[in-house]
Structure 1
Amino acid sequence: MTRKNKIAVAVMIAIGVAIFLWEMRNVDVHAAWHTLLTLRLQWLAVAFLVILLSYVIEALVVQIFVAHEGEHLTFKSAMRVPLIEQLFNAITPFSTGGQPAQLVALMQSGVEGGRASSVLLMKFIVYQFMVLINFVFTLFIGLKHLAAQFGPLAWLIVFGFTIHLLVIAGLLLIMYQYRFTKRLVAFGIRLLRPFVSAGRRAAWQATMDAKIDTFYAESVHLKQEKTKVIRAALLTFVQLLLYYSVPYFVLLSFGVPHVNLVHVMVLHVMIVMIISLFPIPGGAGGAEYSFKALFATFMGPAQLVLAMLLWRFITYYLGMVCGIVALAVVPDRLESTKPQKS
């Protein structure tokens, strides 16, 4: 890790500690201690197992997309990719550091740069589609639970959903209306003429054209790799369901009665939508506020703050810790069963 990354990790940990201390200011310490002593550790262990299993499934998706003409990535090397992604997503605004970090991790394993970029782009496309499907699926089956619970947070959820929908719409436009998309982007850049210099507009146009060309080429590849895409999509769907179920097991560890898995998963999906809107790495502040607002009806103040801390550690800080460990692991090189040319 660079010195800058180490500072970013330290800052995010400090922010997390500060938020927890602030939330604990009005909580009875004795009640909190008693709550910790009565935790049902078996359910907490399940919560940890579920999040780790979600990382394993993402590693399998990486293996699926890397496998090509007798070449494959070992599980050890594939596992580094989602863990390193977790670390760099956690310390960069809007999780922008995850993609470049994954690219480096794949190249360290011997995957050629262009091919590694292709793998990550296919993985990104599948992930975005599955996020949208999960959102619609959980919202549809859990709609009856949501009537009056969200309040002002509903607007943030709608905004987050709209952004994801626009991303998917953009991906579909490039995949199926390639030339129209390029004309649409060019028209949008021309509208900036009164505000942006000609040189900068030309640079933006060239950059966007290159990105659209790259994505279109990968979309053609995706259409030719239907079996891979279907397998990766199913695994990603399961991965997301596991991730969304983490708060359910955290609530069970606190002995919350009559907790409904679907209801809790729907709430967690909404929290994730809200977090995606915050530019601060990890959605710090927004994540904790959303959790408290949406799960306040499940438990008392002491339990709520402790549940928020455990949920945040499992879904955010654990990924950072695992990512740091993964950085220290030397990856295996890409393996090949292709016959060597004489």
Structure 2
Amino acid sequence: MCSRKIEEIRLPQDRNRAQGLRNGALWLLSAVGFIAFSIFGLSLASRFFGGEIPALDPRLFELSSLAWIGLFLLIYFLADGLRLYYVLLSLGAQVRFREVFPLVFVNILFSNVTPLATGGGFAQVWYLQRRGVAVGTSAAATLIRTILAMLVIFTAAPLFQLLRPSRAGAGLVDMVIQSLSAFIALYLIGFLIVLLRPQWLGSVIDGLVGLLARVRLLNLRRRVRWGRAIRREVTEFSEGFGRFRRGPLRYSLGSAVFTVIFLLTLFAFPALLMSLLGYEVDWIRVIGTLSIVTFLMYFAPTPGGAGFSELAFAALMSGQIDSPHLLLVILAWRFLTIYLGMALGLVVSIFALRQPKAAT
């Protein structure tokens, strides 16, 4: 009898251990995929747009260059942390910035080792929960932060096309922006519906689930379970965004301002690198072009958009960067905005796993 009870205790432990091993293997496989797709994208960029394996340019390591790069990195990481911090404050979460700031690197790591950046939100909710933030509040905060960023990105491309005078050699960028403008407009409308009338979206999804049940693609039990989950998620998001809108104006404005600062810094990194390499840079043009690259990365099926991001950058920036520097700028851009953050995120995540869960 005693041995049977011991076996019953050990069985869940064994299942949890097996599940952990499977999850670890999936994360490792995804990380390997990220590296492989990145190398593949660079090789294709080199083949189609010129350029060889780049040699490190000493101009990027001059004291003044390192100071500018360090300043941009500081603004980039701080603004990323502050935009989530102010969203959390607007939702009434009792957190300190030093508790939120490590999420910058956790998000960069997990977003870039999962297809379509799906892992970043789950990792942030998990991290915040361990620091005493309710799951509903943290999920609403991460979703609102993402939507604010996507609204800026999806608005920047059409504005860039509308306000920037046409220039020679910009035909590819103009063609991409024009072809995506209608698609971007539809996404903006969808985001506004999610923000202002989330119940409409819930009704549409619930109707689609009902249709699947009527054509016998879903059984009744799953239909009921999915319907309850949809209503619960829509209600939680609606309540969360309602709290965000009703919260102190300084917090809402703070999240919007730091979202813009974060994205402007992200888009301006290639312009900074080009300037340090001696180019006469049209900063507005580079920032507008990078908004298109970032937009395309949202829909790349590979982990972190690896491969697609390098190709999109090379295709849209090849007219602005000479072939000998193209791969160097791509690698430096990805290192500063992604690879460095992923390395820091790995260290932060290891320490976060060791910390005990806070009482809620």
User: 1:167-316 to 2 correspondence within 5 Å?
Assistant: 167-175=190-198, 178=199, 180-192=200-212, 193-194=214-215, 196-199=217-220, 200-227=222-249, 228-256=251-279, 258-316=280-338
1:238-282 CA distances to partner (integer Å, 9 max, x unpaired)?
Answer: 1111111111112112222x2111000000001111111211112
Which stretch shifts more, 198-207 or 304-313? 198-207
Unmatched 5+ stretches in structure 2: 1-22
TM-score (norm 2): 0.77
Unmatched 5+ stretches in structure 1: 335-342
Which stretch shifts more, 290-299 or 198-207? 198-207
Identical positions, percent: 21
Question: How much has 1:183 moved relative to structure 2?
Answer: 3.7
Which stretch shifts more, 269-278 or 150-159? 150-159
Amino acid paired to 2:128: L
User: Which of 158, 173, 193 is matched with 1:150 structurally?
Assistant: 173
Structure 2 partner of 1:325: 347
Which stretch shifts more, 315-324 or 80-89? 315-324
Structure 2 partner of 1:36: 57
Count of residue correspondences = 328
Amino acid paired to 2:205: V
Distance 1:190 1:246, change over 3 A: same
Paired with 2:171 and 2:40, the residues of 1 have a C-alpha distance of: 31
Structure 1 partner of 2:42: 20
Paired with 1:60 and 1:223, the residues of 2 have a C-alpha distance of: 18
Paired with 1:156 and 1:272, the residues of 2 have a C-alpha distance of: 16
Paired with 1:109 and 1:55, the residues of 2 have a C-alpha distance of: 21
Distance 1:149 1:77, change over 3 A: same
Amino acid paired to 1:141: L
1:101 aligns with 2:123: yes
| Contact persistence 2:121–2:142 (CA under 8 A) | yes
| Contact persistence 1:174–1:181 (CA under 8 A) | yes
Amino acid paired to 1:8: S
Distance 1:160 1:86, change over 3 A: farther
| Contact persistence 1:282–1:316 (CA under 8 A) | no
Question: How much has 1:189 moved relative to structure 2?
Answer: 3.7
| Contact persistence 2:84–2:141 (CA under 8 A) | yes
Structure 2 partner of 1:115: 137
Amino acid paired to 2:215: P
Q: Secondary structure at the match of 1:150?
A: helix
| Contact persistence 1:89–1:96 (CA under 8 A) | yes
Question: How much has 1:43 moved relative to structure 2?
Answer: 3.7
Which stretch shifts more, 300-309 or 147-156? 147-156
Which stretch shifts more, 140-149 or 81-90? 140-149
Distance 1:101 1:243, change over 3 A: same
TM-score (norm 1): 0.81
Question: How much has 1:92 moved relative to structure 2?
Answer: 0.5
Distance 1:135 1:69, change over 3 A: closer
Q: Secondary structure at the match of 1:255?
A: coil
